[in-house]
């Protein structure tokens, strides 16, 4: 292998807005056969918006007051969407006196002396809160549109469902299509539920989905693919997925994401454009082809 060709390749990549931190990342690209995309903030814009407010036994404003009060303490993009919506309606958020975020599940809080929660079915199941049929149907309707359904509970009962949508990035569909045309198996991984995840995957042309994967489990899923013999590139924004970036044979970080992504990825994309994933892999292959 010629170090000169690799140095030249790294320089050429930088001109394209692709920072390659090590020659090994270039070399690994040759054997790559699988590309795994994180969903939120990677395939999607990562700035979700509230689209549906379905209260049960309270009115819309009360649902937003409670949900917003719980989420005000969380930095999760879903939480920010709920808080933004409540504030834009001029609602004074309920005050939370205690607060606990459960990664990949939701948030627990105490609101005006009562236990409260916002999150997914897994969270409510763990809390032993029953999800009535009507709630389940409402959540499914939201999920069938590729949105995320947040269940809101107060004092052990469901008081509503909030639907949140996160748009696909402009070039997600094209990037996935080009990678498939190059012969890669393309997967999506997410903590989101299987129905929402399945719709978003379908919209982007991805057939294999790993859904309801807890943040702590994402790296393990990458390891499992590697144990099956796949050589894996993982593309993520660093929210929840830094260990997966590190575990992958080639970790590709969206540079507009988090600092931890930039640290964990071997390849960092300066622009927030998924076509640069394709460019990075094409360039790596060209460089390594020349080195041999
Ligand atoms: P992703 O893998 O798409 O980045 P996360 O692992 O962050 O997703 O979250 C997975 C799921 O956990 C979300 O789709 C949501 O149902 C639930 N969740 C996580 N954080 C929150 C929160 N602050 N409020 C409500 N639900 C949450
Ligand atoms: Mg994410």
The pLDDT of residue 65 is above 70: yes
Q: Name the pairing type of β-strands 114-119 and 148-154.
A: antiparallel
The pLDDT, as a whole number, for residue 252 is 95
Ligand nearest to C-alpha 76: 1
The tokens for 167 are 């748009």
- Kindly state if the Cβ of 240 falls inside 6 Å of ligand 1: yes
Neighbouring C-beta atoms of residue 144, cutoff 10 Å: 12
Pocket test for ligand 1, best of 50, 192, 201, 218 (most atoms within 8 A of CB): 192
β-bridge partners, 19: 268
Rg for the chain (alpha carbons), in Å?
21
Catalytic site includes residue 38? yes
The pLDDT, as a whole number, for residue 1 is 56
Angle at 194 between CA 78 and CA 211, to 5 degrees: 80
- Kindly state if the Cβ of 78 falls inside 6 Å of ligand 1: yes
Mean pLDDT for 70-82 is: 95
Whole-number mean pLDDT of the chain? 93
The pLDDT, as a whole number, for residue 225 is 98
β-bridge partners, 149: 163
Atom of ligand 1 nearest to the CA of 118: 25
CA distance 98 to 117: 11
Q: Which residues surround ligand 2, an ion (CB under 5 A)?
A: 38, 40-41, 239-240
The pLDDT of residue 256 is above 80: no
The pLDDT, as a whole number, for residue 190 is 95
Cβ burial 111-141 (10 Å sphere, 16+ → b, else e): beeeebbbbbbbbbeebebeeeeebeebbee
> Predicted ipTM?
0.96
Give the residue ranges of DSSP H helices in the chain.
3-15, 23-28, 60-71, 77-88, 121-127, 133-144, 172-181, 194-204, 218-227, 242-247, 259-264, 275-291
- Kindly state if the Cβ of 74 falls inside 6 Å of ligand 1: yes
Ligand nearest to C-alpha 189: 1
- Kindly state if the Cβ of 148 falls inside 6 Å of ligand 1: yes
């Amino acid at each position: 292998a010629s170090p000169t060709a690799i140095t030249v390749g790294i320089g050429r990549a930088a001109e394209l807005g692709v920072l390659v931190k090590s020659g090994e990342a270039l070399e690994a690209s040759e054997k790559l056969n699988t590309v795994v995309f994180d969903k939120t903030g990677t395939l999607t814009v990562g700035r979700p918006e509230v689209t549906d407010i379905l209260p049960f036994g309270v009115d819309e404003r009360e649902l937003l007051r409670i949900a917003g009060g719980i989420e005000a303490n969380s930095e999760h993009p879903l939480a920010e969407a709920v808080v933004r919506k409540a504030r834009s309606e001029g609602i004074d958020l309920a005050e939370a006196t205690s607060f606990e975020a459960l990664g990949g599940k939701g948030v627990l809080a105490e609101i005006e002396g009562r236990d409260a929660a916002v999150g997914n079915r897994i969270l409510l199941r763990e809390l032993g809160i029953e999800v009535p049929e009507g709630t389940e149907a409402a959540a499914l309707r939201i999920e069938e549109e590729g949105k995320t359904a947040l269940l809101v509970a107060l004092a052990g009962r469901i008081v509503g469902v909030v639907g949140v949508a996160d748009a696909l990035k402009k070039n997600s569909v094209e990037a996935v299509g080009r990678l498939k045309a190059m012969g890669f198996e393309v997967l999506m991984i997410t903590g989101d539920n299987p129905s929402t995840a399945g719709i978003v995957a379908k919209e982007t042309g991805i057939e294999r989905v790993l859904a309801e994967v807890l943040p702590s489990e994402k790296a393990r899923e990458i390891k499992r693919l590697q144990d099956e013999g796949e050589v894996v590139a993982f593309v993520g924004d660093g929210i929840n997925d830094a260990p997966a970036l590190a575990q992958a044979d080639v970790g590709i970080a969206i540079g507009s994401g988090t600092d931890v992504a930039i640290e964990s990825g071997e390849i960092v994309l300066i622009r927030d454009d998924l076509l640069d994933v394709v460019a990075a892999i094409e360039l790596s292959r060209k460089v390594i082809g020349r080195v041999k």
